[in-house]
C-alpha cells in the first residue's frame, strides 16, 4: 500500500510517500513560502522521482490541524480533491500528533505547541508507549499557556515535560518560569512535522476512512474574521 502524505498546517511544508515498511520519499522545507503555490509542484516532483503515477497511490494522509487557518485549508482541500478524483481514501491526522511523534520513546510528557496569539497555544499532552505509539493524556485544545502549564504539571506527577514545535521558542521564558527544570526543549530538527509520520499513521486507519467529502479541518477555534462577523451579527439581532 502506497500512501501520499501532506502537511501544510504550519510554516513547514512536508510531503512524503510511504508504504507499510518504508519511507519511499520525503521532502520537507521550512522556507516560509506560499504553500498554495508550492504544494502541487512538490507532490509532482516526489512522484516523478519515484516513477509513480497518481493512479498507483492507494490513499492520502493529510494534517487536518490545528495550525494556520490558510495552511490547514490548503492541505485538506488538496488532499480531498486528489482523493476524490483518484477514487482513493483520505485520512486526516492531528497536526499536533504528527509533531509529537518526533519524541516517541521519551519517558516523560510530550507537549507539542503551536502559537495561537494573545498568550494562547494549540497543544496537547502525550505519553510514549514504546518507540512507535503515543497515548493522549490531555486532548488537543486551544488554551492560555499560563493555564495549561499547571494542568500538565499535575497530570505528569513530577516527570519531565518535553516541548516541541517551532513556536515553543516564543514561549520558552514563560515555560521555564513556571516549570523550572522539569521543562525540556527539543533540538530544532525535532520541532518540524514530518509527512512520513502522517503516512505511517494513515496506513493503520485507511480501511476505516470515510468519504473524502466528510473530512473537515480541525481549527479548534473560529477564524478572527469569522468571530468578528458572528459578534457583529449577534449584536444586531
Upstream peptide bond of 66 is cis (omega within 30 degrees of 0): yes
Cα 56 to the center of its chain, rounded Å: 25
Q: What is the tens place of the pLDDT at every residue in 59-74?
A: 999 999 999 999 999 9
Query: Residues of 101-110 as b/e, b for ≥16 C-beta within 10 angstroms?
Result: bbbbebebbb
Strand 161-164 to 109-115 pairing: parallel
Q: If we measure between CA atoms, which residue out of 165, 160, 17 comes closest to residue 99?
A: 165
Question: What's the mean pLDDT in 131-147?
Answer: 93
CB 165 within 8 Å of CB 99: yes
Reported as a single tens digit per residue, the pLDDT across 124-133 is 999 998 777 8
> Tens of pLDDT along 156-190?
989 999 999 999 999 999 999 999 999 999 999 99
Q: How far is CA 117 from the centre of its chain?
A: 18
Q: Assign 31 a pLDDT band (cuts: 50, 70, 90).
A: confident
- Alpha-carbon 60 to chain mean position: 15
Task: Classify 44 as helix, strand or coil.
Answer: helix
State the cell numbers at 140: 488537543
Q: Which domains does the chain have, with CATH numbers?
A: 3-95+192-232 (3.30.420.40), 103-190 (3.30.420.40)
- Nearest-angstrom CA–CA distance, 197 and 219: 20
CB distance 19 to 1 below 8 Å? yes
Which residue is listed with cell 490541524?
A: 65
Amino acid at each position: 500500500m502506497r500512501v501520499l502524505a501532506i502537511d501544510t498546517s504550519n510554516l513547514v511544508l512536508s510531503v512524503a510517500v510511504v508504504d507499510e515498511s518504508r519511507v519511499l520519499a520525503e521532502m520537507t522545507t521550512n522556507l516560509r513560502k506560499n504553500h498554495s503555490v508550492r504544494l502541487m509542484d512538490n507532490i509532482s516532483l516526489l512522484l516523478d522521482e519515484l516513477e509513480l503515477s497518481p493512479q498507483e497511490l492507494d490513499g492520502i494522509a493529510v494534517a487536518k490541524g490545528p495550525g494556520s487557518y490558510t495552511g490547514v485549508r490548503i492541505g485538506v482541500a488538496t488532499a480531498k480533491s486528489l482523493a476524490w478524483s483518484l477514487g482513493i481514501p483520505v485520512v486526516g491526522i492531528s497536526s499536533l500528533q504528527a509533531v509529537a511523534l518526533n519524541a516517541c520513546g521519551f519517558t516523560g510528557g510530550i507537549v507539542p505547541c503551536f502559537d495561537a496569539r494573545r498568550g494562547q497555544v494549540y497543544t496537547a499532552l502525550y505519553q510514549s508507549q514504546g518507540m512507535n505509539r503515543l497515548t493522549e493524556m490531555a486532548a488537543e485544545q486551544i488554551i492560555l499557556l499560563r493555564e495549561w502549564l499547571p494542568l500538565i504539571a499535575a497530570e505528569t506527577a513530577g516527570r519531565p515535560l518535553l516541548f516541541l514545535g517551532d513556536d515553543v521558542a516564543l514561549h520558552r521564558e514563560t515555560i521555564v518560569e513556571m516549570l523550572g527544570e522539569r521543562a525540556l526543549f527539543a533540538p530544532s530538527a525535532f520541532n518540524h512535522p514530518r509527512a512520513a509520520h502522517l503516512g505511517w499513521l494513515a496506513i493503520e486507519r485507511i480501511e476505516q476512512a470515510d468519504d473524502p467529502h466528510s473530512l473537515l479541518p480541525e481549527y479548534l477555534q473560529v477564524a478572527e474574521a469569522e468571530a468578528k462577523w458572528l459578534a457583529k451579527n449577534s449584536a444586531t439581532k
